[in-house]
Structure 1
Amino acid sequence: MNVGSSGCFDQKQQQLRILRVRREPFEYGLLPMPRLIFPDPLTALRGLYSKLRSEGNSILVRSTDGNVHIDCAGIALALDLSEDEAQLVLETLLSVLPDIQHGSSATSSPSPSDGSVSFEDFLLFLYIQNYKKPPIRPHKDAASVADVWPSSSAFDGIMATLSPLQIRTGRKSFPSQVDEESHQLSYIQKHLPQLLCLLANMSAEDETDSQVLTLEQFDHLGFLLHVGEKGCASVPLSQLAPFFANSDPDMPAAPVLLQQVLEWLLEHLSVVADRSQERCRENGPEGDVDVTMLDASANTTFAPVSPRGTPTGGPSKIRNRQDGLTYIDGITKVSVLKTENEICGGSVKISNCHDSVVYILAPMKYASIYGCSDSIIVLGAAEKVVKIEYCERVQLIVCSRRVRITNCRECLFNLAVNERPLILGENHNLQVAPYNTFYPRLEAHLAQASIDVSVNKWDKFLTLGVLDPHDSLPHAAGVADAPAEGASLLSPDRYTNFVIPKWNDSESALEHITKGNPFVIPKAYIVAQQQRSKAVDSLRNTLKNVPMDESRRQDLTQAIHVHFREWLYASGNIRQLYEFQDYDKD
């Protein structure tokens, strides 16, 4: 009897260990559009569902998999949006759908070329638009950030007062990664009854005790809940539930009482919440970024530290979590390199970095950059979304399906994007330019991330309102009435190629390597580059042909070298040279 009980307990623990909330819809899927946010989402979406059903096939369409889908035109009609706004909603939803094949049950992620999404996923997407993050207590010590954030500015009257360094130095007052994940889990627990009612197409008059949920409807919860572990393929949610597990694909599974499904899910999610809180208490504020809703231990490595610079606030940690998240946090005056063997196609978060250079030369699904300043960040191919928030004087070089920019100042974005870049919130002096670099494995990573090199909408950015309803940071009075500031195009005269150092000479022996920028550069930028190249060649020839004796030529050469060394030190590039030497030795 005891052995049998132990076996059941172990099986239950195994089930609990692989159920968690998906971060992506909450972190990358919220849009600051008033028409998407409903005070009472269940009632509003019930009404929307009834409206669309009454409209017939003009809005809802039956897809080849037999399920009801909605396309861009349908979204525009349903929510009274413009074509651009409806396309934004569709692209955003597509970017946060799970990569799960549900067989005949149908919530597999369509590609953008399909032009439609499952109607159930669309309803869940609309429901979570009312999600709010935990309140944030602003840091008050302005003197500690005077060396980074402008102490006085013409924009201070209408811009948010928090700088990246304020966010970093006051970080204990800000939600950590585990805080946000815990809040997401609490949100799902609180709203799970309404979400199930929505999936079951329940009307307000239906009795919950008698309502049932089908396997197909249950699997749509995979939009919000994830099953799987690192190194294992994601599976439909129904394969974990005892009432749907091992169902015969040739014979539809019997519907299950909605109340039974609700109790089972709440039981599992409550245990996950307890374990997450316990790990948070054990690890403390510095370790909580390693805590997940899985029972996972963190693998921690350290970034190289330059001879001239040291990290602030203790050692700079680069954490790899078992749920596929690589976390680079709090580095200062450091260069960091992560390659594809260290990313493994998951998500990357770069936060609170100052005066650093970060190279993520790998394919990934999602990337988030937060609270960084005076840094250069080079990302490989991002299959889904790259978002950058609350950054100042950061140059971001990235190729991705889509990019989302929020509340940044004086940043430069060298972009290769298949969809229009989205600019949100309060921004100042942003510039965008074409993609300007390459590395040996770039084209292989682009193919892995399904990024089309023939399409680059770097200059077709879409700017939404100043205030984001999901943003809990404080804003100055009257900012809601200020017009949103977008971005300007970088002048071709200032466009330069960014050269990524070669750390490993063995890469040159690969057969299929990228030897140049695979994206098309606009003609004006090519002409400007050619003119600068000619000017350099002309100067070189002039110096070479100037008549002078050998001693004067040596003096000239020495002067050039001195100025070059001064530039290396003044720009901070000397630090990278030291670090690259250390990396080569390693």
Structure 2
Amino acid sequence: MQPRREVWEYGSLPLQALCPQLDGVQTLLAFHGKLFARSKAGRQGQRVVSVADVAQVMELTQNQVDVLVEVLAALSYANSAQAVSGAGASSGPAPQLGSEEIHLHELSLLLLCQLFQKEAQRADAVEYWPDPNSGGFAAATASVSQFGAGQELLSPTRRSQSGGRSLLRQQLQGHLRAQIMAMRGFGDYLRRNLRPALELVLEAYPPAPGATLQAREVDRLAFVLGPSQPARGGGEAEPLSNVLGLSHGGPGGMYAPLTLDAATSALRSLWAEECVDSPRLLAFSGGALSSASSPSPKFQRSMGMVAPAGQVDESAIAGVYRGTVVRGEGDLPHGDVRITDCHEAVIYILAPLQAAFISGCSDCTILVGAVGRVLRVERCDKVQVIAATNRLLVASCHECSFALGTPRPPCLVGDNRFLRLGPFNTRYERQAVHARDVGLRTDLPNRFDSPVVLVGKDRKGLVGSAPNSPRLGMGVGLAAASAGAGSAAAAAKASYSLLSPDEYLPFVVPFVGGSGPLAGGSAPQHASRWNHLAASAQRGPGPVYLFPLPPDYERALQRRLNLTHDMRSRFKQAGLTKDKERELNDAIQGYFKEWLVGSNLLRQIYDLSTLEKEEMAAAAASAAAVGLSPVPMAAPPGMSAAEARGAAMQ
């Protein structure tokens, strides 16, 4: 047995803002008892509670309960399509997005996991960026900072210092190391609290003396526990009751009902001591982040990566620095990806996913094609995220921009500052197929512009929470300055702003997004043109994007396209001679190349060119084996195909 790491990675929330009155396991058991009394029977014996009852019993505000329900729905097993199909054909399809039932045992187990934060001793300095003008800040953070005694966390107001970006990367890497250590502590915490966890899955509460657990009650622990070894053949994991039956069961290895104490002892005897088995994650905790080894350049390109440092495998992208990574269908067979410790990189994830996790990155552009359950972005700085996802959770990010297609309101938790939210702005050939494969609800309106911000109802000011503090996100400084409900709303609004229509630009994906090397290879040339990305009704039935553009953004994009059309028309009507046309063309290309260098985008063009050459070489070798000659890719005069696509992308 080992903990289900997704519950901690994707479901971790700031407990003091979510439910400050939840101060221990005994309080949780008391809440569970009150909710159990209000619950009703669901499928296969689960107890189902209403959102209103959860809010009333736990004294939660609307935003608090909204965030809790969204996270629980993303992590839930009981509401999954597999659970519904396993319950029989009469149960019908999976619940509609946003109307999932709240299963009491999952809610209580999630809150039990949230209590681990108190033991992890995650200081407020880790969740909140400090006010640099606070006189007592350095002394207050010296003893608790994970980044060294007396060392201040880097704030956006202090970025002008020498070596600021390097210091920021070190701090983000320190956060990742703390995550790994917390994950290990999370496993120990669950092992010590197996008895209350078993009480939370019972179908009768409070448990009677000598009560035994049925097989389906034990199986509910799969929300937080699972076998340390993957299932054979890549199928679903074996039920926990079967695992216990093989080691502590009756005749034939069948599960025999166990008392609470016996089941607790049995689970502890099966516990895996080491819960972090990834070599890359072990490198994080061992302090090797800043000097990660890299595979050979040839191997990197075969894995769809060009970078001086970094590692890529079937479920993770880590440590990529100043490089480009491309992952397509078949490259992520587990349906999830973790992107960590990447800096100044461009990452294309063109595959159907159920979950994606982005943490500790800076100065990156990350495209995530389609996510069925949840995308979590935490502790990132100056990262551009382009994603189509059923649910998005953003935790303690700064100066990040999000181009979103999401049918559920994004959840903003922690200390988020200077976020920009805009509509989805890209497409690629296989995107609609990916969205359909993961159950992305593109038929619902895009809710990118109505995020839910987790604001603590009774949150007291922290170190540096002066009324003029730049701290935003949960808005504790503003809340301390004013006790009215309007101040909380203002604090929530201050953590983000909406992208204005005049700033909206399409993003071109230079790959097909299919299977094989480089996500199916280069996209057709017409897909690299802006007019291909225009959501104009004149281009035929149905929107070009997965989520139709709001009317004001579509009008702004059309105005921008019309400007380029008018400029071309003026050049044609100017009656320039051939020499003047050539001179004008050379001037435009010269200014464009100067802009490429000045904007630091030239490296991406070189990366695309390198990846393209590898692809062409592999195609030529394959064609030669059967006696064919591949057709070379055309490019405009004086510019490679990769440069042409780069020009269109910008």
TM-score, normalising length from structure 2? 0.70
User: What is the distance in 1 between the residues matched to 2:170 and 2:556?
Assistant: 39
User: What is the distance in 1 between the residues matched to 2:265 and 2:94?
Assistant: 28
Give matches, 1:533-552, under 5 Å.
Answer: 533-552=561-580
User: What is the distance in 1 between the residues matched to 2:258 and 2:87?
Assistant: 18
User: What is the distance in 2 between the residues matched to 1:331 and 1:205?
Assistant: 51
* 1:447–1:489 CA distance, 2 compared to 1 (3 A): same
Does structure 2 conserve the Cα–Cα contact (< 8 Å) formed by 1:139 and 1:167? no
Q: C-alpha offsets along residues 387-438 of structure 1, whole Å, 9 cap, x if unaligned?
A: 2222222211001111112222222110011211111222332111100001
> 1:319 — aligned with what?
313
- TM-superposed deviation, 1:459: 0.5
> 1:81 — aligned with what?
60
Q: How many percent of aligned residue pairs carry the same amino acid? A: 25
* 1:543–1:399 CA distance, 2 compared to 1 (3 A): same
- TM-superposed deviation, 1:261: 1.1
Does structure 2 conserve the Cα–Cα contact (< 8 Å) formed by 1:110 and 1:117? no
Q: Secondary structure of 1:465's partner?
A: coil
CA RMSD of aligned residues (A): 4.3
User: What is the distance in 2 between the residues matched to 1:30 and 1:130?
Assistant: 10
Residue 151 in 1 paired to residue 133 in 2?
no
> 1:463 — aligned with what?
453
Residue 126 in 1 paired to residue 117 in 2?
no
* 1:149–1:388 CA distance, 2 compared to 1 (3 A): farther
Does structure 1 conserve the Cα–Cα contact (< 8 Å) formed by 2:25 and 2:115? no
* 1:167–1:522 CA distance, 2 compared to 1 (3 A): same
Range with greater deviation from structure 2 (394-403 or 212-221): 212-221
Does structure 2 conserve the Cα–Cα contact (< 8 Å) formed by 1:424 and 1:468? no
Q: Secondary structure of 1:542's partner?
A: helix
Q: Secondary structure of 2:375's partner?
A: strand
Does structure 2 conserve the Cα–Cα contact (< 8 Å) formed by 1:416 and 1:435? yes
- TM-superposed deviation, 1:346: 2.9
Equivalent position to 2:545, from 495, 517, 520: 517
Residue 257 in 1 paired to residue 259 in 2?
yes
Give matches, 1:50-449, under 5 Å.
Answer: 50-54=33-37, 59-98=38-77, 101=83, 103=86, 112=97, 114-132=99-117, 133=120, 137-139=146-148, 150-151=159-160, 165-168=167-170, 171=173, 175=177, 178-200=180-202, 210-227=210-227, 229=230, 231-242=234-245, 255-272=257-274, 280=282, 284-286=286-288, 303=300, 311=308, 315-320=309-314, 326-449=315-438
- TM-superposed deviation, 1:24: 1.4
Q: C-alpha offsets along residues 492-529 of structure 1, whole Å, 9 cap, x if unaligned?
A: 11101100113645877xxxxx9931211000011111
Letter in 2 for 1:558: D
- TM-superposed deviation, 1:541: 1.1
Does structure 2 conserve the Cα–Cα contact (< 8 Å) formed by 1:453 and 1:518? yes
* 1:187–1:497 CA distance, 2 compared to 1 (3 A): same
TM-score, normalising length from structure 1? 0.77
Runs of at least 5 residues in structure 1 that lack an aligned partner in the other structure: 1-18, 154-160, 291-297, 321-325, 509-513
User: What is the distance in 1 between the residues matched to 2:35 and 2:350?
Assistant: 45
* 1:431–1:347 CA distance, 2 compared to 1 (3 A): same
* 1:50–1:426 CA distance, 2 compared to 1 (3 A): closer
Range with greater deviation from structure 2 (488-497 or 499-508): 499-508
- TM-superposed deviation, 1:197: 3.0
Range with greater deviation from structure 2 (360-369 or 235-244): 235-244
Does structure 1 conserve the Cα–Cα contact (< 8 Å) formed by 2:184 and 2:275? yes
Letter in 2 for 1:542: R
- TM-superposed deviation, 1:440: 1.2
- TM-superposed deviation, 1:206: 6.1
User: What is the distance in 1 between the residues matched to 2:52 and 2:284?
Assistant: 51
Does structure 1 conserve the Cα–Cα contact (< 8 Å) formed by 2:370 and 2:388? yes
Q: Secondary structure of 2:244's partner?
A: coil
Q: Secondary structure of 1:355's partner?
A: coil
* 1:565–1:142 CA distance, 2 compared to 1 (3 A): farther
User: What is the distance in 2 between the residues matched to 1:23 and 1:405?
Assistant: 18
Q: Secondary structure of 1:569's partner?
A: helix
- TM-superposed deviation, 1:266: 0.8
Q: C-alpha offsets along residues 11-48 of structure 1, whole Å, 9 cap, x if unaligned?
A: xxxxxxxx321111112223335463555543223323
User: What is the distance in 2 between the residues matched to 1:168 and 1:467?
Assistant: 33
- TM-superposed deviation, 1:236: 2.0
Q: Secondary structure of 1:343's partner?
A: coil
Letter in 1 for 2:453: T
Matched residues, number: 524
> 2:138 — aligned with what?
none
Residue 48 in 1 paired to residue 31 in 2?
yes
* 1:282–1:382 CA distance, 2 compared to 1 (3 A): closer
* 1:224–1:405 CA distance, 2 compared to 1 (3 A): same
User: What is the distance in 2 between the residues matched to 1:203 and 1:394?
Assistant: 47
* 1:211–1:202 CA distance, 2 compared to 1 (3 A): same
Does structure 2 conserve the Cα–Cα contact (< 8 Å) formed by 1:142 and 1:166? no
Runs of at least 5 residues in structure 2 that lack an aligned partner in the other structure: 123-144, 479-490, 512-517, 525-541, 615-650
* 1:418–1:524 CA distance, 2 compared to 1 (3 A): same
Letter in 2 for 1:51: K
User: What is the distance in 1 between the residues matched to 2:47 and 2:447?
Assistant: 31
* 1:163–1:423 CA distance, 2 compared to 1 (3 A): farther
Q: Secondary structure of 1:548's partner?
A: coil
User: What is the distance in 2 between the residues matched to 1:109 and 1:367?
Assistant: 21
User: What is the distance in 2 between the residues matched to 1:51 and 1:346?
Assistant: 37
Letter in 2 for 1:268: L
Residue 556 in 1 paired to residue 584 in 2?
yes
> 1:32 — aligned with what?
14
- TM-superposed deviation, 1:111: 5.6
